[in-house]
Amino acid sequence: MEGQRTCPAVAGATNWPSTAFSPSTGLFYMFRRGILQYLFENDQWWEAGKSFYGGGTRQAPLEAAGNL
C-alpha cells in the first residue's frame, strides 16, 4: 500500500475529542482512537481561497493493525 504508515491515525490520539476530569475519582479521561492509517501526497496545488490538503489518508486493512 502506498503512503507512510502512521498510528494513531489523523483523527486519533487526543487532538480533537474532548477530555474530562472527574474530581470524585481524581482521574483524567481522554479518547484514544488507535487505528492504523496511511498518509500520502497528491498532485493538488495550492490556490488562494480554496482548501488545500496536499494529500490524503487511507485506512489500513484491519489485519495490518497487528503489525504495529
Q: Supply the pLDDT for residue 51.
A: 84
Rounded CA separation 10/39 (Å): 9
Q: Supply the pLDDT for residue 28.
A: 92
Q: Supply the pLDDT for residue 6.
A: 80
Per-residue pLDDT of the chain (68 residues; tens, 9 = 90+): 578 888 777 766 656 677 899 999 999 988 777 778 888 888 888 889 988 888 888 877 765 555 55
Q: What are phi and psi of 67, to 5 degrees?
A: -105, 25
